[in-house]
Amino acid sequence: MRKLKPVKQPGEVETREGMAFELLARLPVPMFVKARDGRYLGVNKAWEEMFGMPAASFVGKEVRDLYPQNPEIAALHAARDRELWERPGAQSYSAQIVTPDGRRRDTIYYKATYPSAGEPEGLVGAIFDVTARARAETALRESEERFRAVVDSANEGMLIYDRSLNIIAGNRAAERIVGLPLAQLIGKPGFTSLLTCVRADGTPLPEAERPTRATVRSGQPLTDLRIGIQRAGGGMTWLSVNTAFLRRVDDTDYYGLVSTITDVTQQTNAEARLKESEARFRRTFELAGSGMAHIGMDRRFIRVNRRLCDILGYREEEMLKLTGRQISHPDDLDIINEQRPSLHAGEIKAVRLEKRYVRKDGAVVWVKFSMTVERDAHGKPLYEIAVYDDITVQRDTEARLKESEARFRQTFELAASGICHVVDGRFVRVNRSLCEILGYREKELLGRHVKEVSHPEDRDVTDADLARIRSGELDQARFEKRYLRRDGGVVWCDLAIALVRDVFGMPLYEIAVFDDITERKKSEAALHAAHEELKRSNAELEQFAYVASHDLQEPLRMVASYTQLLGRRYEARLDQDAREFMSYIVDGATRMKQLIEDLLAYSRVGTKGQDFKPVALEVPLRRALFNLRAGIEEAGAAVTYDPLPTVHADEVQLGQLLQNLIGNALKFRSNSVPRIHIGVSEKNSEHQIEVRDNGIGIEPQYYERIFMVFQRLHNKGEYPGTGIGLAICKKVVERHGGRIWVESRAAQGESQGSSFIFTLPKRGDN
């Protein structure tokens, strides 16, 4: 047996067989030659290397000697050899072998018998080690399987498109998410062609915007394209679609596309809800009536609402550069900081306080401040939430209220009037003056029933009006009533009562103001008594005047008539002086008679007057003018009068009144022809009647005096008269409830006459 040997020197080759062996020996492929009986005739160098065995030690052995540990491999080769002997020619098969050093190899065996014709003598074999390739194939297969498993188990849907953008493959998740079986999807231009799809804003998705088309058009992969699938039931499935190009290694052009699809319906809904809640929060934050801020851990404002900007007078962007401390009032700098550590440590839930800030314009604002802290999942403070309420006005109001209360207290205490507050008929607050008026000490009055200090006879005089005040019918009421002092004395009070209600109109307390009018009451009583006394003595006087004048007439008449008789009978015996003296006596008696008659008339005004009845003023006027007709004619006087009213009066006395006034106007005439006018004017509740003349007039200093009994300005030589006429006028007018006075322009030097004016009440009940 020969063995394959390393290449010899050229020319050493002796036979064709030898040359073939030479060639085999050089080939880098493991080769062997076996005899018909199965023994190895030779192996080449590559074989030696593969099996780690020198040719010399193996030639002459059989295949079973090569695999002492693996007889099944040897059996395989032996069986194949037998096939070859039976059908000579060539043969190839793959076999997994194990080399003596234990390496497992995937191989392909090529074997051929020789010689090529006739009965074979042996065979030549070549071994191709395909281990690497087989491994690679396995790895690829396994990787593909793994990949498929991953793809199929993925939650993300995946769809593979070919170059013409038709679906060629997809995973289970894609079926689930899209809601169509792959069988329906395959071959279609994307799932969007099969379903009603909308864009993120809810509008229909046009064909050109289908994810794959958009990707191809832009040449850019898509990320997170939101597409909604409108479901038949009205529901919406929201998808996030990503796309990518499929390219072969080293190939710039793509052969297809892959798109991944995630169902983001829940997330989208949650996002929408979050957005909504954020918007709601924003709105609340912005519209809140309180100022609000989020404050960072560096104390800077992170977020402020409009109201806070208004309260502090800064614009938002200015605020965001500030810390609360920077705008705090110098006196309130640290009052928040004092509590911050406890708040952050969770020892207190919130900080609540009132403090001052300084506005941008320098004004001070009082703020009701409260603050909590927002924490992360681990309880670490993230930021602070602060709420600010402007209480400046409230603070001012409180201050003003305090001031006004103090003012009220002072007024209450210092008032000269007694003041008390009464609830349920009992004193609840009394001032010093009231204590003085009633003679009690404050604590003796408080809680005491008001009626206890009332005079027994006046106890209930306030009841009816108080009820009307409580029912809202009356605002306040006034009374004069008596109280009993502690010492038993009686005190008269002018009492004003009003009810103080709260803002809802509910009664709070009654307020009563007392003025001590005891003195006034006393003088009123005295005045009344004096008045009564005066009336009585006046009446007596009138009676006396009447009686006196009446009774004086008789003796006077006797004096006069006997003096005249004496004169007539003894005329011759009386000398000149005696006659002169007698004429004086007669003259005096006549004057006295006139005085007595006038006095009688005067006294009769009060005692002998008639009852009032409606009187047309013209009637007594005409009678007066008739009585005066001689004087009027003699003086050539012009008497005129206005249309005259009807009055309620004593007709006879009115005639007397007018006759006296017109008579005076005639008597006290000047050098001019007398012009007398009776004028009438209407004042609210009375008629005003004026008797105007153009006579000598009256000096103002006599305006009062002329109305008194027997008062005259002239002696009887100048103008006759007794000085009682105007006194009677005054008495008549006053009996009718009117007044009389004089106006004259004599003061101006040149006389322009006098006006005697009297009034008569319009009402008939004077």
Residues that bind ligand ADP (CB under 6 A): 664-665, 668, 693, 695-696, 698, 706, 712-714, 721-727, 754
3 state SS of 617: coil
The partner residues of 241 in beta bridges, in order of sequence, read: 225, 261
Q: Which is nearer to ligand ADP, 437 or 727 (CB)?
A: 727
Q: Which of 590, 563, 593 is nearest to 579 (CA)?
A: 563
The phi, psi pair for 246, rounded to 5°, reads -105, 125
Cβ of 129: how many Cβ atoms within 10 Å?
Answer: 17
Q: Which is nearer to ligand ADP, 30 or 695 (CB)?
A: 695
CA–CA dist 517, 752 (Å, integer): 51
Closest residue to ligand ADP: CB criterion: 721
The phi, psi pair for 754, rounded to 5°, reads -125, 155
Helix axes 725-735, 651-667, angle to 10 degrees: 150
CB 601 within 8 A of CB 728: yes
Q: Which is nearer to ligand ADP, 95 or 709 (CB)?
A: 709
Q: Which is nearer to ligand ADP, 305 or 751 (CB)?
A: 751
Q: Which is nearer to ligand ADP, 367 or 661 (CB)?
A: 661
Q: Which is nearer to ligand ADP, 76 or 665 (CB)?
A: 665
310 Cβ neighbours under 8 A, 6+ residues apart? 291
Q: Which is nearer to ligand ADP, 243 or 755 (CB)?
A: 755
The secondary structure of 315-381 as a DSSP string is -HHHHTT-BGGGGB-GGGTTTTTTTHHHHHTTSSS-EEEEEEEE-TTS-EEEEEEEEEEEE-TTS-E
CB 292 within 8 A of CB 285: yes
Q: Which is nearer to ligand ADP, 309 or 724 (CB)?
A: 724
Q: Which is nearer to ligand ADP, 228 or 721 (CB)?
A: 721
Tell me how far, at minimum, the Cβ of 668 lies from ligand ADP, in Å.
3
Q: Which is nearer to ligand ADP, 370 or 711 (CB)?
A: 711
CA–CA dist 464, 728 (Å, integer): 49
The partner residues of 112 in beta bridges, in order of sequence, read: 90, 124
Tell me how far, at minimum, the Cβ of 579 lies from ligand ADP, in Å.
29
CA–CA dist 182, 678 (Å, integer): 131
Tell me how far, at minimum, the Cβ of 688 lies from ligand ADP, in Å.
18
Q: Which is nearer to ligand ADP, 564 or 627 (CB)?
A: 627
Tell me how far, at minimum, the Cβ of 664 lies from ligand ADP, in Å.
3
Q: Integer distance in angstroms from the first to the last C-alpha of the chain?
A: 185
Cβ of 552: how many Cβ atoms within 10 Å?
Answer: 16
Tell me how far, at minimum, the Cβ of 704 lies from ligand ADP, in Å.
11
Tell me how far, at minimum, the Cβ of 608 lies from ligand ADP, in Å.
20
CB 596 within 8 A of CB 552: yes
CA–CA dist 429, 443 (Å, integer): 10
CB 24 within 8 A of CB 33: yes
CA–CA dist 758, 649 (Å, integer): 13
CB 658 within 8 A of CB 620: yes
Q: Which is nearer to ligand ADP, 135 or 716 (CB)?
A: 716
Tell me how far, at minimum, the Cβ of 592 lies from ligand ADP, in Å.
14
Tell me how far, at minimum, the Cβ of 722 lies from ligand ADP, in Å.
5
Tokens linked to 334: 């640290």
Tell me how far, at minimum, the Cβ of 762 lies from ligand ADP, in Å.
27
Tell me how far, at minimum, the Cβ of 549 lies from ligand ADP, in Å.
16
Tell me how far, at minimum, the Cβ of 701 lies from ligand ADP, in Å.
12
β-strands 638-641, 675-683 pairing? parallel
Tell me how far, at minimum, the Cβ of 628 lies from ligand ADP, in Å.
13
